[in-house]
Amino acid sequence: MTRQPVNLAEKLSLFSEHWSPRIVGSFNGHDLMVVKVKGEFTWHSHPDTDDFFQVLSGRLTIRMRDGDVTLGPGEIYVVPKGVEHCPVAETETHVLLIEPSGTPNTGDPETAAQKTEI
């Protein structure tokens, strides 16, 4: 077991791709991931789990059919399971995600980004 803290800014400096989550830790069957986002993602939902977002830097708008939520640094939002949503960032934004291990980022394993550990 490692006893070293995880520096999220350091982990984010190790890659440049957008919409490609990187696993930085885990707990109780959940992945802790950082991701760089820019532009619009795809509309999707997660039928079996909520979707946790915490903005580390930048601004993220989570579009939902019944209204949008915009997050700034230090803010979190949890999209309830089954709710269709579409994350959008006008400029590069860094986000912490927490979700059950193996959850596809598009809600569909066929179209999901491959998650790697860093």
Is the per-residue pLDDT at 106 higher than 70? no
d(CA 59, CA 74): 10
Mean pLDDT of the chain: 91
Q: How confident is the model at residue 87 (pLDDT cuts 50, 70, 90)?
A: very high
d(CA 66, CA 64): 5
Sign for the CA dihedral angle at 15, 64, 76, 100 comes to negative
d(CA 7, CA 65): 35
> Which pLDDT does position 37 carry in this prediction?
97
d(CA 18, CA 31): 18
Element (H, E) at 36: strand 30-40
Q: What is the pTM of this model?
A: 0.88
